Structure 1
């Protein structure tokens, strides 16, 4: 009798500890959205605490699965929800650090959810909110697979997502039915645009090519004493209208971010093991025990903030249709974070703001620039997007070449993809620092205008 009471007390403590870890993990995860998107030190410590709690939670539910099943009523979709949150953590950590290995970690957890069918009985729970979580999981998994160029799996997931959306809308007739239909169309349009140029093998089967750098595709470069600069900070901005996009990732952003990354390698960080290696006794689930480099408590954390020893890729910011103020904040943050010998790259795809000034004298502000927001101010500007204006004011939502002058104090690489790109050719080198400007053609060749996405 005493032994039974002791066992029940032990089981009660296990359930209470699980509830405590679960609640704490939710609080920390919800707090991630309040962290600043720019800078480095401001968010690293918080991410470290969040990873630590989710590691404990995942291990705890593995070690005590039988007790949690019988005493707490732990369901498979709840395990899937924890795994999904860990996958999101790794994905967002990839976005903030540009380390492509964390994409593989996110993929491991998302793939395990699908492989073990954690959400298979979601529709039988009679909870529309649970079905929405399942649909969001599919959308996130598709993004990760797109970034890892797993196109065959992407197409399989799209078919599954379409079936799940149909089941969701038929069962619940929800208000967000149209919203999910649009998400599905976005995904299909993005995949179609991504494969617009196909490279075929000799047997006419398409070849999936990676845009990332790898030793097999990058010729060796012999370092010389004159090669003192390295690319450290990158801003990728997608502001062009009428472009294929999915999840605030336009096609040009999608391609450019991969071009500026190295292929993920399992050998890069020895502490990152195979995701199935530490499963519990009840199923071989992925282990949330691989804390990323660069967060407090990990082996790669450096107190003085020197990130060059921790990552192999330059740090990136991805901005989808930002306002001018947002763009300037992130640009300034990247400028501030540049280490000695570091260079900043700005890639911007946007529609042009065109000037009506007949005899421009100030090339910094009188030739026009790039539109950063489709929203217009109450006061009409002296420039317009693809139009004319009679007033003499400058457009407040336009990024002018002159806005970039202060950032030429450090080595700067600018890539402009726009129908008004030529106006950036006049940026001066006031401070004698290296400056490279690549400008796209202003017009699309007539033969390809019909194929423009």
Structure 2
């Protein structure tokens, strides 16, 4: 710890001017401690990207340490705001950056744990940034990188609001983001203008992707959640026993060409992940102050199935995540694999009818896609290598498996073999009326 602090002194030397003797020792220590916490928090946050994306346990201790440092940093800047303003020159956008990082932590912790309550925690921090105008002064500074921080904050806030079905707020945020991007592109001649305009187009298309509107008796729009409501579990049929099998893990794969998406979340992935979750509980109401809950605290045992969201994975990536889920699947548990992907069809009629002869669904590749649907092979005698064939999933039928294929070539999986006698369900979309399948998917799921 002392070594870190000694190394860190170089980063704060700028704030101690010629009149360093005029700065009381206690205030100098306050600034030093703040800078140390700020630097440590950045190191830990940057280290998150190096953690394995799969597995349930390897990353938890690191997340815990990161949460701990950010909690200390947030409380420290609250307790010593006046000293930091006067001696360090703390700006409001810097406070906003800390709050934004905490929001990102909660969001990524939600992705890791599937506990929707952490979405509310992310929302509380993102909302506070907007309400307190932490980024308001950024536009007055001639620093495009600060404006980009603000734009990224808006994009992340929109994702969280989408997942919480706060559609009215999403529309307001999109309008504000549009104004911010317009101001940014007018003030700075940067290379990322087209990228930010594309972000706007994506989120606008995402919001408009579902034309279905439900009105109440007063003709007001009602937002219907796809998540499982408290007390909304359908009753068991006669003779069924609770707890025989539990849906524990789910891989949600999105690899459709030209499908509406925002960030790395397609509309199909968005709908399916909500169908596998319970309505979130606001954890802030159970703690002394909003945003102070430790990530290892849980309000009650109400776990959602653990999920991996894979946007356009390669075959090796998909197989790695499948193997990790299979390895860590608890006893009496089911692994769900949802494949929303472009169909890959065989180039010609095969004399055999094996698990690799009917094509499958596309995995990510840089090769061109013909007609938006069909991937052609260079050598018709060989099988398509950038494809998840039914036979590729056979090893995972050693444990209970639930497969959903939403694809133009879903029929490739219709004769899926159950080689090991374990529970197996294959739910296949129609090949021509997939939209109806998407609407009905939610009603197939209830997990206990």
Fold match, TM over 0.5?
Answer: yes
3-state SS, counterpart of residue 208 of structure 2: helix
Correspondence for 1:127: 143
Correspondence for 1:230: 246
**Contact preservation (8 Å) 1:356, 1:389:** no
Q: Does 1:319 align with 2:335?
A: no
Q: Does 1:424 align with 2:424?
A: no
Query: How much does 1:428 deviate?
Result: 1.3
Correspondence for 2:10: none
| CA–CA distance in structure 2, aligned partners of residues 360 and 332 of structure 1 | 32
Correspondence for 2:293: 290
Q: Does 1:168 align with 2:184?
A: yes
CA deviation profile, 1:221-244 (whole Å, cap 9, x unmatched):
379447511000000000010100
CA deviation profile, 1:66-108 (whole Å, cap 9, x unmatched):
1111111111111000000000000000001100000000000
Correspondence for 2:357: 366
3-state SS, counterpart of residue 58 of structure 1: helix
| CA–CA distance in structure 2, aligned partners of residues 387 and 217 of structure 1 | 46
- Gapped regions of structure 2 (runs ≥ 5): 1-19, 438-448
- Gapped regions of structure 1 (runs ≥ 5): 279-285, 301-308, 449-453
Q: What TM-score results when the alignment is normalised by the length of structure 1? A: 0.86
Query: How much does 1:413 deviate?
Result: 0.2
**Contact preservation (8 Å) 1:349, 1:416:** yes
Correspondence for 1:196: 211
| CA–CA distance in structure 1, aligned partners of residues 261 and 61 of structure 2 | 32
Alignment of 1:4-403 (within 5 A): 8-193=24-209, 195-221=210-236, 224-225=240-241, 227-266=243-282, 272-273=284-285, 278=289, 287=291, 289-293=292-296, 312-376=303-367, 385-387=374-376, 391-403=380-392
Query: How much does 1:30 deviate?
Result: 0.5
Query: How much does 1:425 deviate?
Result: 1.6
**Contact preservation (8 Å) 1:231, 1:344:** yes
Query: How much does 1:253 deviate?
Result: 0.2
CA deviation profile, 1:265-297 (whole Å, cap 9, x unmatched):
23xx6xx4468x54xxxxxxx54x21112xxxx
| CA–CA distance in structure 2, aligned partners of residues 206 and 360 of structure 1 | 55
| CA–CA distance in structure 2, aligned partners of residues 8 and 216 of structure 1 | 59
CA deviation profile, 1:93-130 (whole Å, cap 9, x unmatched):
00011000000000000000000000011011221100
Query: How much does 1:389 deviate?
Result: 5.4
Q: Does 1:433 align with 2:436?
A: no
3-state SS, counterpart of residue 254 of structure 1: helix
Query: How much does 1:310 deviate?
Result: 5.8
3-state SS, counterpart of residue 436 of structure 1: strand
Query: How much does 1:174 deviate?
Result: 1.6
Question: For structure 1, which segment, 87-96 or 353-362, has the greater mean C-alpha deviation from structure 2 after superposition?
Answer: 353-362
State the aligned residue count. 414
3-state SS, counterpart of residue 360 of structure 2: strand
| CA–CA distance in structure 2, aligned partners of residues 445 and 273 of structure 1 | 41
Q: 1:445 to 1:430 in 2, by over 3 A?
A: closer
CA deviation profile, 1:340-364 (whole Å, cap 9, x unmatched):
1111000001111111342442421
Correspondence for 1:281: none
The match for 1:405 among 377, 394, 401 is: 394
Query: How much does 1:299 deviate?
Result: 7.4
**Contact preservation (8 Å) 2:147, 2:184:** yes
Query: How much does 1:59 deviate?
Result: 0.6
- Taking only aligned residues, the RMSD between alpha carbons, in angstroms, comes to 2.5
Q: 1:447 to 1:320 in 2, by over 3 A?
A: closer
CA deviation profile, 1:404-426 (whole Å, cap 9, x unmatched):
00000000000000011011121
Q: 1:447 to 1:67 in 2, by over 3 A?
A: closer
Query: How much does 1:374 deviate?
Result: 3.9
Q: 1:367 to 1:115 in 2, by over 3 A?
A: same
**Contact preservation (8 Å) 1:357, 1:367:** no
Correspondence for 1:282: none
Q: 1:447 to 1:58 in 2, by over 3 A?
A: closer
